[in-house]
Structure 1
Amino acid sequence: MPFSGASDPNLPSNVIDRSLEIRKQWVGAWNGRFKACRDDGGDESDCESSAFAVANAAIKEIDDKAVHLDDDDDDKKKKPRRKKPRKKPRKRPKLRLTVGFFAKSLIF
């Protein structure tokens, strides 16, 4: 039973309360997974279960990425990472060239 869209009255209660964009993403994920499962020859009840899992995971990922501006709890906020200071380039050692039989050294 694919959903007709984000305004479908048969949407689950955890989805109806969401914004229109999130409902659209949920319905798209659900319908896509359900259709793919049915095309592969899956049982309708198994395909529904799989579709619910995929769709709920999609909106959970959105929730995890959302920034909650009304959170006053400072413990949950991440501290900014300190940048490591740049290392100074190492000086090259002087090159010694030994020439001749008597091993005279030249420094460049």
Structure 2
Amino acid sequence: MLITIALASQEGGPASQQLAESLHRSLLSNDTARRNARPQLLRRPPAPGQLGGVTDLIQLLLTDGFSAASLGIAIAQWRLTKSPTISVTVEHNGATVTVEGSDADAVEEAIRRLVSE
């Protein structure tokens, strides 16, 4: 199962590039995620005609050893070390869900909903 994660800060928080790099490092430091989710940091340039810089994304190929629930927990734990105003957008099979605000448990629930569709 292939999942892509994009991060954005709200109102003066760290830049999305820094957030993506931080979450990527966090996932790499998690032995289970490193082995079973294969986190990769990707850089996506803006689409032709759009303004903006390169967007950093995290792409994961989830295996049976790392479920969507495990990913949700890993992201929720990472969010606890960062500002709760981080917006987390998760994409799977063309469907996306974005979680904002301070409820870290909402990330786990959003990922479960997304992959069950």
TM-score (norm 2): 0.29
TM-score (norm 1): 0.31
Structure whose residues are more often strand by fraction: 2
Higher-Rg member (1/2): 1
Larger RCO (alpha carbons 8 Å, 6+ apart): 2
